[in-house]
Amino acid sequence: AFSAEMGLDIRERVRLLQALRQAVESERLFVVYQPQVNLISGEVVGVEALIRWRNDDGTFVPPDRFIPLAEASGMIVAIGDWVLRVSCHELVRLQAMGLPNLRMSVNVSQIQFRHPEFLDKLNAALLDTGINPKCLELEITESVAMEDPAFILETLHMVRELGISIAIDDFGTGYSSLSHLRQLPIDRLKIDRAFVTELSQEVSGGHIASMVIELGRNLKLTVIAEGIEEESQAQTLLRLGCHEGQGYLYAKPLTAVQLKEWLQTRAEHL
Ligand code: C2E
Ligand code: MG
Ligand code: MG
């Protein structure tokens, strides 16, 4: 089913998988960080870690293309653990720059989340880097949060016991059971980019975004919007009661070096 989904035939999949193995070995994977801002104050509240794969010729293989393959092959467990460690180390450096409360959001795949060693690895990353667990947030997608409710509930509780917070990514794209959602120990809903884009369209725009924000209010969850590209979208989100966002309007995902420059320039202008 995944080959059809990805539009790749077997040969193409095998080739890509070999290339991914080589990319891991030759360290062609790296992590970029996209700022998350408070929409009222403009303050940077966090960054989301996003993986990148650069080919020798300088072109990129998009995560949407290789993450499913990394999941199907099990490589995502090692890759995800690496992203977690790299991001936690980067958080230490960023916080030392004078942003002591900065939050790091890390995407966690379903396969990684279900791996028997997941919690041990999470704990090890905390201990090795010494970060404040309160500044670490894991993003799991809505579909993951809704599958196998008993297992998810238990795992999320254990993640929360470590002090780590949890965001539901791509919220609004799945079919959440509201009674299940209400039971989950989560902190944040992340409005999917599609519903932010919709805010600029005149007709019936913003319905889903406003429903998610309302839901967040009722469940006492923070709501963050992703994919904000226009000032008008930010204004509408603010008016609807969403106070955090990320998107090209503020910054594209940046390398660690670019992010430091971006943060410095921004601090000078505030
Ligand atoms: P996501 O977690 O929902 O990440 C948001 C995606 O939207 C990112 O794409 C980001 O670059 C893009 N984006 C941010 N702002 C804007 C905007 O204003 N306009 C537009 N058009 N796009 C924007 P990216 O980096 O290509 O990642 C795609 C997906 O791949 C992510 O979606 C996430 O599901 C997955 N992914 C990325 N890194 C990791 C990782 O380390 N682990 C796992 N498991 N998944 C990852
Ligand atoms: Mg995400
Ligand atoms: Mg998302």
Ligand 1 centre distance from Cα of residue 169 (Å): 10
Ligand 1 centre distance from Cα of residue 257 (Å): 19
Ligand 3 centre distance from Cα of residue 145 (Å): 14
Give the integer Cα–Cα distance in Å for 195 and 215. Answer: 15
Band of pLDDT at residue 3, cut at 50, 70 and 90: very low
Looking from the CA of 50 toward its CB, the CA atoms found within 13 Å total 18
- Residues contacting ligand 1 via CB (< 6 Å): 34, 50-51, 62-64, 67, 80, 83, 107-109, 139, 169-170, 193, 226-229, 246-248, 253
Give the integer Cα–Cα distance in Å for 15 and 61. Answer: 13
Residue with CA at minimum distance from ligand 1 atom 11: 253
How high is the pLDDT of residue 9?
81
Ligand 3 centre distance from Cα of residue 263 (Å): 23
Ligand showing the shortest atom-to-Cα distance for residue 108: 1
Strands (E), the chain: 29-38, 44-54, 60-61, 103-107, 136-141, 165-171, 188-191, 222-225, 244-245
7 vs 87, more confident: 87
Which of 37, 50, 81, 84 is the best mutation target for the ligand 1 pocket, counting ligand atoms within 8 Å of the beta carbon and taking the most?
Answer: 50
Ligand 1 atom nearest residue 31's Cα: 41
How high is the pLDDT of residue 26?
81
* Residue range 113-144, pLDDT digits in tens: 999 999 999 999 999 999 999 999 999 998 88
pTM: 0.94
Q: Is the pLDDT of residue 4 over 60?
A: no
* Residue range 236-267, pLDDT digits in tens: 999 999 999 999 999 999 999 999 999 999 88
Q: Is the pLDDT of residue 145 over 90?
A: no
